[in-house]
Amino acid sequence: MSQPSSHSMISPSGNLPSFRANALRPAGWTLILLLAAIVASPQSSVPVPADSPLPDVPTLMEQVREHQKQMESVQENYTFRELQVGQHLNKDGSVKSTDSEEDEIFYVNTHEVRRQIQKDGKDLNAGQQKKEQERVMKAVEKAQNTPPGQTPNGEVVISVSHILAMVKVSSPRREILDGRPTISFDFTGDPHAKAHGLAEEAARKMSGTVWVDEKDRQVRRLVARLDDNLHIGFGLVSLSKGSHLVFDQKLVNNELWLPTSAEVSVTAHAFGIIGGRANIHVTDSDYKKFHAEAQQQPGATVVPGSPSPH
């Protein structure tokens, strides 16, 4: 429903004042969406009668939160490709320009590292490849020297886990997505939830809807919007109320729950002036095992001997 990541609002790889993705680079902003990778044992979907009782909501949400936290670490055992297509908008909402970037993503010491493969549909030339390799080496070194839980460049990293921890849910109902029963909930920020850091404070300002796969207790889709301005950097930069995202994960090859796409719409202000408006589409694909010991990670429900999803 990845990665994304992290970063200044939520994006799978977008750009704003420096959250996981880097989309609005022309404006010099770094918006990042941390997309969590989730793993599940292969199970065929069992039809659930539409009139059957819904699961106990508190128990279900506790299972979902725990699965999400456990499985976000699994993404660190994979490399994958992420394509970002950004539409930069004028004040009236018309498209001013469009650009795209394709990156190979891997993790070092729990931190995301990106290697640019293409820019606007074109491979990097020899000079650009050399420069990119030098940048990646520096990023790897910085990641190695940054403790897990911290961000190498000070980005605001907002994950699905952050959002689930900071909201309260209501209106449970059963819906079918991709032929599988899901339980959907509306959610709003919980004013009583104790936020630790700017990422959780931002998550507490969000509302939306989340769809949970009823069989595997995994987040299938999440739609979130920012209900209040989010101030960053002593208030000099802010993400505007109404910025929103749609995030999808799917069960790939009946083996792993992995991020597949995201749609992000953001408006950012700097010094009280609109600094950027953009729509960003992110597609994650081509997941491959990075560490041989990936199947041995605590909490990861990976099928022994199963091929990597593509």
* Confidence at residue 12, expressed as pLDDT on a 0 to 100 scale: 36
8 A C-beta contact, residue 76 and residue 4: no
Q: What is the mean pLDDT of the chain?
A: 76
Give the pLDDT confidence of 42-77 residue by residue, as tens digits: 333 445 656 688 999 999 999 998 887 776 777 778
* Confidence at residue 71, expressed as pLDDT on a 0 to 100 scale: 67
Q: Total domain count for the chain?
A: 1
In a domain, 4, yes or no: no
Give the pLDDT confidence of 195-226 residue by residue, as tens digits: 888 788 888 999 999 999 999 999 999 999 99
Q: Which of 28-32, 89-93, 115-119 has the highest mean pLDDT?
A: 115-119
Give the pLDDT confidence of 23-44 residue by residue, as tens digits: 333 222 233 333 322 233 333 3
What is the 3-class SS of 247-273, one letter each residue? EEEEEECCCEEEEEEEEEEEEEEECCE
* 294 pLDDT above the threshold of 50: no
In a domain, 310, yes or no: no
In a domain, 3, yes or no: no
Q: Is 243 helix (H, G, I), strand (E, B) or coil?
A: coil
* Confidence at residue 148, expressed as pLDDT on a 0 to 100 scale: 83
Res. 21 pLDDT band, cuts 50 70 90: very low
Higher-confidence residue: 149 or 41? Answer: 149
In a domain, 275, yes or no: yes
8 A C-beta contact, residue 78 and residue 104: no
In a domain, 67, yes or no: yes
In a domain, 231, yes or no: yes
Higher-confidence residue: 132 or 195? Answer: 132
In a domain, 150, yes or no: yes
In a domain, 217, yes or no: yes
Higher-confidence residue: 200 or 231? Answer: 200
From the number of C-beta atoms within 10 Å of its C-beta (0-12, 13-18, 19+), residue 293 rates as: exposed
Res. 256 pLDDT band, cuts 50 70 90: confident
Which range of residues forms the domain containing residue 269? 25-290
CA pair distance 306, 129, nearest whole angstrom:
34
* 168 pLDDT above the threshold of 70: yes
